[in-house]
Structure 1
Amino acid sequence: MPDKKNIIFCITGAGQFLEDACKFIKKLSEQGKYEITIAFSSAGYEVLCMYGLEKIKNYAGSVILEKDQGKSAPFCGRLSKKDYDFVVVAPATANTVSKIACGIADTLVTNIVAQAGKTNTPVFILPTDAEKFQETEIPASIDNKKCESCEYLKNCPCVEVCPNNAIFLTEKKKLRINLMLCNACRKCIFACNYGAVSFGKIVEIQCRDLDIENAGKLEKIEGITVIENLEEIKIS
């Protein structure tokens, strides 16, 4: 049996393309031909949890968290040994893209990309901010206008049912969700009789021209291929 291809899949802190990235990792893993290392930026892991997608870790041979890598990101030394066949960054936030475009390597993911360039390891990047107008799904949110009719607001069932105490009532009698505590269990959605809580709501965003320009700059960097969707990655 031929040796497995070794892949580093970097995930940064964006909801855009996040579910697509998880599905792609799962598909590669199930093919049995790839050894996948998932590297999370600090924000990347936080956002993963907000969307309830932590189980993607089960499809990785190893998981690298930025918080465990300090300032020097020693994991990147493995690229120097040419242990990996290629690198994927998806989703790549505007912040990460701008740093890569300017040659800055001061985070786990930007260090991985920089080190890949030094070892001729191909890099595929899926930027979140490549087009002016885009649609994206947001994590759990509350429409407080729908809460105005709720007679149970002081003892809101959404608050009571949350296992992580992520939902709270402000002094101004507005319900809020602390997304740092939310694990997307969706129990609050089923507890609310007024449809005030939603998950995966689609919103339109307008990307900054600066961020779109930076995404375009990536195409000029040797060894980097900018993609519009993950299916563009052709793996032999």
Structure 2
Amino acid sequence: MVKIAWGITGCGDKIEEIVDMIVELKNEYEDLDVDIYYSKSAEMVLNWYKLMGKLKDTFYNIRKEVNSNAPFLPGMLQTGKYDLFLVAPVTANSVAKIAHGVADTLITNSVAQGAKAMVPTYIYPPDNKKEEIETILPGGKTLKLYIRDTDVENVNILKKMQSITILENVDDIRDVLLKHIKGD
């Protein structure tokens, strides 16, 4: 059994792809146990994209952030309840906080505390390269975004942190989860 804590922040870019992929993996692999922890901003985004129902239909343990310690994900990461911590997608704001040691939300505090216990943490920030990207809004419209230098610099800081692996795209998320599920 692979036990995963999945943290979701208020990032909408690739959220539909990520939810669909993790639901697919959960349905395909009985050995995959996923608990979901989402930020207050993520609740708005999940509802905006009409994904909350899909999560509730598929996963048993779904918890909303109350504060930086509640629900008590940081402690559960440190005491070995989870094999890994996946944060996907993550906002540029949360990346900046993690990069600079700010642990004032459930997700940023959980990354900090999990890292202290050397819990493998995989983070997918869509704002990871200096480029123009297209994100899909609810309803299918596209929106062009221009990734800022400071966002890329913060991602580069995370790449140097112990126990944190930056994932470049949604396929990397699938690869990492399959590696853990299959024990490779």
TM-score of the two chains, using structure 2 as the length reference:
0.88
| CA deviation map 1:176-231 (0-9, x unaligned) | xxxxxxxxxxxxxxxxxxxxxxx120121111111111111110001111111233
Q: Do residues 213 (structure 1) and 142 (structure 2) align?
A: no
- Distance in structure 1 (CA, Å) of the matches to 2:155 and 2:165: 11
How many equivalent pairs are there? 172
Q: Find 1:75's aligned residue among 73, 76, 89.
A: 73
8 Å contact kept, 1:35–1:61: no
**In structure 2, distance between residues paired with 1:19 and 1:35:** 20
How far did 1:71 drift? 4.4
Contact 2:68 2:107 in 1 (8 A): no
Residues 71, 222 of structure 1: alpha-carbon distance in 2 compared, 3 angstrom cutoff:
closer
Moved over 3 A (4+): none
Larger Rg: 1
CA contact (8 A) 1:120 1:223 kept: yes
Could you tell me which residue of structure 1 aligns to residue 47 of structure 2? 49
Question: Are 2:127 and 1:129 aligned?
Answer: yes
For structure 1, list consecutive stretches of 5 or more residues without a partner in the other structure. Answer: 140-198
Q: State whether structure 2 residue 1 is matched by structure 1 residue 61.
A: no
Which residue pairs with 2:103 in the alignment? 105
2:126–2:169 CA contact under 8 A, matched in 1: no
One-letter code aligned to 1:105? A
- Quick one: distance in 1 between partners of 2:20 and 2:126? 17
1:139-177 CA-partner distances (Å, limit 9, x unpaired): 2xxxxxxxxxxxxxxxxxxxxxxxxxxxxxxxxxxxxxx
Residue 17 of structure 1, aligned match among 6, 14, 17: 14
* Separation (CA, whole Å) in 1 of partners of 2:26 and 2:56: 11
Q: What residue ranges of structure 2 are gaps of 5+ in the alignment?
A: none
The answer to which structure has the higher helix fraction is 2
State how far apart, in whole Å, the 2-side matches of 1:75 and 1:224 are: 17
